Structure 1
């Protein structure tokens, strides 16, 4: 990523400058993970404290944005930061003498641009503007939130600090080398025409600060009565796909050989192989002489030319180091440099949930609840970081000797913050196991937290019944029409004491339509312990399911009665 930035601000004919602006270009790895940020704020003229609001809005955005989790998308990170800043400004208003006069309080407009990979992310509230140079004209990319009452009277319909909740415009724009963006306050754009701005930028391409200063001076010369601020951003080069620090490691590290017991590998002693699949080989190893047991994973031989697979493999440890939960697998501290591509995690002495279910074919309801709740808490840790696991299944849950459940295997996890740096990534690939994959994935739709919840609902159902809620039909329902025909098989039977209301909870959690599913894990986990009427699952089971013998006996009696009535009628 290479850019050029020019900025200039002036109080103009006013006594003080209530505008504020700034730009931040971080160093790697934040440059690749979070991008470059610019922001500009314009204080309200009628307020004596709006310069405080402008400065606070810009400074908090430029600093707090880079403190958000790297896994968050730009949109989520920026909107969370702006919402927090707006809450602070509004609280200042409520505590000040301006609580009943918003036009005199802590309020400002804000326009911000985050450049990440080959995309510009725009955030806007108020009447400052963001433009893109398009040939010999300026393309306005934002919409003014100014309400015009008459030729002389207007007011801001939206601004930072005015209301307790902030509605901010968001837009994505693909960028190419040579693109030029302008951020400007009304003191500039209302008095300088597009021809002057474009010509000035072209004539001062090697000094954009000078171009910005000349634009401000021209607006002042043409009679601008307001504060004047402009920022110019030129894209000189965009990063190639996978150019981030994370993927540089991928190309730098050689692939390890297949390992054998007793082998010494980068300070680890291989004890035995734990698991082998088409994706990876997993070993139990000892860290040094007498150190703790760890799990060491290397890519499978057959997938070593699959760059997408290696990319996901490399991300596993990156993800594990950022998810903090007692119910999620954790890697040990990295104590030595690596010379090969592999992943190291803690060793869990226990068994997979698949094996646990084989050993406990009829677990009691409290035990099932406890395990499902632990898995749910692990999923919540992913979702707080805007990650989706996408491959939750019994084989990817470990139960240790204390009964603690831990989610493992992060090779399918979706990380929006990483995905934004990979425009060439295949986002339609189904990475999960079909029996537990939410139906919306088969339609090519993106996943949501409700997609992970579907898998958890299926697991809870399977633990209680030993089967799947739709049998094998869900795995073959690849169209919306076929998904509508899926028939939920009740979890109720005479061999297990399962409450009717709980069947409704499971039915809702594993519903094929994501809109009819639980939208929050917390709601599902709450309902597992608290009876509540569910229209979809609270109906009484038919007699033929509850007691087939009584059903057929009753039906035979009715038929015998009907025969007797017919015979009596003929006599």
Structure 2
């Protein structure tokens, strides 16, 4: 039995079992995380989860393992200000959409990624459970066992049953959520159908009542399932609540969600063990400060909300969401969120400090940029943005002002970091799409997809547009549609714009490279690249289609020149004949 001792926080004992049972291969997955860190345990609780891959989907094992691994990681990355229900539902909605999209990528091969999923979160005096499919969660107290979840399946006949809900089955997740108050001595049981289809509830109740050691309970339940003909995977998690906190953590959560906005900070001021060194940036929407941790000496960037939005609940929710988004994205080319261990007195979050300059400033100092140097930077930006896409998120506001370039003092190698999460859209999250505001901020209108600015979410293709625009500027020092794009307000304004060939600014640019840029910034989504990889491939290697197109254009030009010359020859010949005729008449 595993226990995490703490005088003031929830303590649990647990054991888990996941094996093949009577089946070749294991499509089940189980996960347990009981934080050792007191702050994390207080605000997030302990998590237990079981998933069962849908056999008919072929990629069920991948689905169950992905669901468990991602949930245990992303749930604990959600902001402290979010409730358990909000955190878990947001994370599971994103996981569901990821599995759903992966399933459709293999549509022709019928390799869907589907799995059932049940999770238990023990926080303070409450057990929260989340459920989809036919895995189960039971609650045992004082000798009596009660099923908390409802199977999402339908019985066609005694031999056949089909699953009505699962992660990855539909683009919109239908998730069950419930709560159960807990006391010391309570026990919880999480099972896959390989157990509860063969072991009766009365038998489970008897085992839980007679055996105190969670590990021994798991082994005995497995033995009963095998003895009673189980031919499926068996997954079991047994949790015993040994101790509860003396005070209700919900009081702390209410205080946290009502955190006041910080005042304007000045150098030398101290907040929650952090000393303000200087202000880095200020706008009508937020402020950035360089701060130093008084204990570790570590430098960080503190982002605070603007007092202009103190009564705007939507703004506050989006500001809080930024911290979660940043904590989920793991890439050396994306600034990292610093998880705080101390309680906060005000609403803010911390990011790593990146010692460099913005790409906007860098370009003014380094233009013209050598092609190899520019492509290396573009590749790094693409890797950073792809990390967002891997988390089912779209950046939406990629521009030189949101990219920091650092230079290694020894190797002189340049690297980039994307440093802003304010406009990121998370797919699968139950929120209304809010397009980027057309503010008078340098770069926003120039680099963001016009589809966003007119209220349409073009998803990954929007980030493709921004990357192609940045690449165009690195090679030409200009924008693909000129400065007039800044003044565009309506779709008809954009319709009047025409792509300006990169070769007009830089004749050394190959035709195929120019064609790739043009395709990357096309206003028509049917013409634009659908992925970062496709754009990079054509930027680094001549696309034969572009080369054939150029040959055809050259051929047409040569043909036109031939007929122009021939027509000119005929015209001169006609004049000569007329002259000779007139001469003979005279």
What TM-score, normalized by structure 2, do the two folds share? Answer: 0.56
Partner of 2:362: 356
Q: Paired residue for 1:180?
A: none
User: Residue 437 of structure 1 is aligned with which of 437, 448, 454?
Assistant: 448
**Aligned equivalents of 1:444 and 1:64: distance in 2?**
35
The whole-number CA distance in structure 1 between the counterparts of 2:424 and 2:461 is 14
Cα distance change on mapping 1:470 and 1:538 into 2, 3 Å? farther
CA 1:141–1:263: 2 relative to 1, 3 Å: closer
Matches within 5 A, 1:199-238: none
Instruction: Tell whether 2:68 aligns with 1:66.
Output: no
Q: Distance in 2 between matches of 1:359 and 1:415?
A: 35
Q: How far apart, in 2, do the equivalents of 1:390 and 1:247 lie?
A: 31
Q: Distance in 2 between matches of 1:464 and 1:435?
A: 16
Q: Is the 8 A contact 2:396 2:424 kept in 1?
A: yes
**What does residue 259 of structure 2 align with?**
253
Partner residue, 1:415: 426
Aligned to 1:463: 474
Corresponding residue number in structure 2 for 1:514: 525
Q: Is the 8 A contact 2:132 2:176 kept in 1?
A: no
DSSP-derived class of the 1:283 partner: strand
Cα separation, partners in 2 of 1:358 and 1:250, compared to 1, 3 Å: farther
Q: What is the Cα deviation at residue 251 of structure 1?
A: 2.1
Contact 1:39 1:110 in 2 (8 A): no
Q: Which runs of 5+ in 2 are unaligned?
A: 1-21, 78-89, 104-112, 121-129, 136-150, 179-192, 194-204, 206-228, 231-249, 409-413, 439-443, 555-563
Q: Which residue of 2 aligns with 1:390?
A: 396
Q: How does 1:59-458 map to 2 (within 5 A)?
A: 63=68, 66-67=71-72, 69-70=74-75, 74=92, 77-78=95-96, 112=116, 169-170=169-170, 172-173=173-174, 251-288=257-294, 291-332=297-338, 334-402=340-408, 403-416=414-427, 420=429, 423=430, 425-430=431-436, 433-458=444-469
**Aligned counterpart, 2:550:** 539
Asked if the contact 2:71/2:92 (under 8 Å) is kept, the reply is no
Q: The residue matched to 2:519 in structure 1 has which SS?
A: helix
Task: Give the direction of change, closer, same or farther, for the CA distance of 1:176–1:473 in structure 2 (3 Å limit).
Answer: same
- State the Cα distance separating 1:58 from its structure 2 match: 11
Asked if 1:476 is matched to 2:494, the reply is: no
String of CA shifts for 1:8-54, please: whole Å, max 9, x gaps.
Answer: xxxxxxxx99xx9999999999999999989789999xxxxxxxx9x
Measure the CA separation in 1 of the matches of 2:348 and 2:167.
45
SS at match of 2:544: coil
Distance of 1:43 and 1:347 partners within structure 2? 47
Shift of 1:407: 0.3
Superposition deviation, residue 447 in structure 1: 3.8
Check whether the contact 1:398–1:406 (CA below 8 A) recurs between aligned residues: yes
Instruction: Give, in whole Å, the separation in 2 of the partners of 1:405 and 1:41.
Output: 39
Deviation at 1:265, TM superposition (A): 3.0
* 1:525 matched to 2:543: no
Q: Give SS of 2:526's match.
A: helix
* Inter-partner Cα distance in structure 1 for 2:114 and 2:551: 57
Residues 245 and 307 from structure 1, CA distance in 2 versus in 1: closer, same or farther, beyond 3 angstroms? farther
Alpha-carbon distance in structure 2 between the residues aligned to 1:330 and 1:42: 36
CA deviations 1:89-147 (Å, max 9, x no partner) are: xxxxxxxxxxxxxxxxxxxx98847799xxx99679xxx9xxxxxxxxxxx99899x9x
User: For the Cα contact (< 8 Å) 1:287–1:293, is it kept in 2?
Assistant: yes
Could you list the runs of 5+ residues in structure 1 that have no partner in the other structure?
1-15, 45-52, 86-108, 129-139, 160-165, 178-184, 186-208, 210-225, 228-243, 544-554
Given the superposition, is the C-alpha separation of residues 561 and 141 from structure 1 closer, same or farther in structure 2, using an over 3 Å criterion? farther
CA distance 1:276–1:336, shift in 2 (3 Å): same
SS of the equivalent of 1:329 reads coil
1:204-254 CA deviation, whole Å, 9 max, x = no partner? xxxxx9xxxxxxxxxxxxxxxx99xxxxxxxxxxxxxxxx99996762322
Q: Deviations over 1:392-416 (max 9, x none)?
A: 1111001123321110111111234
8 A Cα contact 1:461 1:491, kept in partner: yes
| Contact 2:472-2:480 at 8 Å conserved across structures | yes
